[in-house]
Amino acid sequence: MGEGFQYRDGTLFAEDVPLPAIAAAVGTPVYVYAANAMRAAYRRLAGALATVPAGRRTTLCYAVKANSNLAVIRTLGREGCGGDVVSVGELRRCLMAGIPADRIVFSGVGKTRAELAAAVEAGIKQFNVESLPELEILSQVAAEQGRVAPVALRVNPDVDALTLKQITTGTRDAKFGIDIERAPDLYRHARALPNLDCGGIAMHIGSQVTDLKPFRDAYQRLADLAKLLRADGFPISRLDLGGGLAITYRDEVPADPDGFAALIEDIVGPLDCELMLEPGRVLVGNAGLLLSSVIYPKTDLARPFLIVDAAMNDLIRPALYGAWHAIVPVAEPRPGTPEAPVDVVGPVCESTDCFAQARHLPPLASGDLVAFLSAGAYGAVMAGEYNTRPLVPEVLVDGARFAVVRKRPTFAEMVAGESMPDWLDDRPAAAGAP
Ligand SMILES: Cc1ncc(COP(=O)(O)O)c(C=O)c1O
């Protein structure tokens, strides 16, 4: 069910708030996040790391791409989390949410000169640089500002993370990082560039990684590179150990944080470096759900459908990756209620707007509430307005309190940025206009 969500007296609650109360106040579809579940996920990982010496030198930088709502970032920031950002927009969100610049790492394969300049000016902790041209631009930008930019080269270890192909980032054919074989050359080149502190190495192997073996293989390659570079006179003192720990969507068994911490101690502990981790999904994924209402059951067909008011524009993971989300009724079915297979689909005009095929559910009627579980990561952040559907709102629950942390835009707000070119404008020309 995901920590923070449970049935009480036949109704699904988010912490101490019944979901029908949120649906009545905000409408559906709506994302609902459980703040205490996020805190618990953070504390589980931070707690495991605190048991090993290397872990105590580690900063957890929350990968805000997973869920960049300001209230979510602040909830984790207040726990002591830093931020991992992939755009200047995410950087600004972190700063706005109160994460200090010196706890922010900038990742991403295509940072523009303007983005690099903004981050140098903000004084962030580290730039994870992914190419030679980016390194050269960063050096120029830092020199223009008279500052030194702290750099880690993101190397691609060519290790298969044994996760979905679409969320694998550390194999040689991925667009991410610098081939680990070429890394020493790049460090030598970087040494000649002004205004850079190239004392870091970063890597990221992929997301939703269940098995510790790919981490072990990748971090071993990273440790070997660090030793090689040190022998070549590079004072390597920072390691960014990317690769996203998995959560349970269905029956996955995620890697245990204690085993992960022990692995870090074992492989990179002896290097005595400052460490950074970039967890996203594992901190927020199971702490969120998408609450939706049934519009129509269309069950008089050979293949029955349940049409709900959430759609692929609100939660794209099933359409994008074939991802699986548990779907549960908010009113707990009585024991023994028969279930039947049904395709759960949204109203968007695309056949791919399908959340689940032949999912076994109890009978549901128009207006009934259902919840898509484990939707706290890569849910709202990937939402769009396709079919002129308003961006789905977000609600944060904290114990018995809840608040709308992003409202549903009105139609006027949705079209506010659009305008007619003068040749299509029907309005009478203003007096005095030519
Ligand atoms: C560079 C980087 N950091 C962090 C993350 C977050 O990963 P996850 O949400 O699996 O923890 C990703 C995801 O792909 C990434 O590419």
Question: Cβ-count burial of 64 within 10 angstroms (0-12 exposed, 13-18 middle, 19+ buried)?
Answer: buried
pLDDT digits (tens, 9 = 90+) for 378-391: 999 999 999 999 99
Q: Mean pLDDT, to the nearest integer, of 279-284?
A: 98
| 65 Cα–ligand 1 center, Å | 8
Q: Is the beta carbon of 190 within 6 A of some atom in ligand 1?
A: no
Tell me which fold the domain 5-33+285-415 belongs to.
Answer: Lyase, Ornithine Decarboxylase; Chain A, domain 1 (2.40.37)
Per-residue pLDDT reduced to its tens digit, 193-213: 999 999 999 999 888 999 999
Q: Spell out the domain ranges in the chain.
A: 5-33+285-415, 35-281
Which ligand 1 atom is the nearest neighbour of the CA of 154? Answer: 1
DSSP 422: G
CA-derived radius of gyration, the chain: 24
Per DSSP (E only), the strands in 299-429 are 305-308, 327-329, 340-345, 354-361, 369-372, 394-398, 401-406
For the segment 129-145, the average pLDDT, to the nearest whole number, is 96
Domain 35-281 homologous superfamily, CATH = Alanine racemase (3.20.20.10)
Q: 433 pLDDT band (50/70/90 cuts)?
A: low
- Choosing from 61, 81, 94, 349, the catalytic residue is 349
Residue 429 pLDDT level (bands cut at 50, 70, 90): low
The structure's pTM equals 0.95
Mean of all residue pLDDT scores within the chain: 94
Is 297 touching ligand 1 by the criterion CB < 6 Å? no
Res 37 pLDDT > 70: yes
Residue 68, ligand 1, Cβ within 6 A = no
- The set of residues, in sequence order, having a beta carbon less than 8 Å from that of 424 and lying 6+ positions away, is none
The pLDDT of 342-365, averaged and rounded, is 97
Over 90: is that where the pLDDT of 13 sits?
yes
What's the confidence (pLDDT) of residue 176? 75
Nearest CA to ligand 1 atom 6: 280
Which of 155, 207, 282, 382 maximizes ligand 1 atoms within 8 Å of its Cβ, making it the mutation to test the pocket? Answer: 207
Mark whether 273 is an active-site residue: no
The residue among 109, 203, 211, 125 whose CA lies nearest residue 161 is 211
pLDDT band with cut points at 50, 70 and 90 for residue 428: confident
DSSP letter at 429 equals P
Would the CB of 281 count as within 6 Å of ligand 1? yes
For residue 285, give the ligand 1 atom closest to its CA.
9
Ligand 1 centroid from CA 162, angstroms: 15
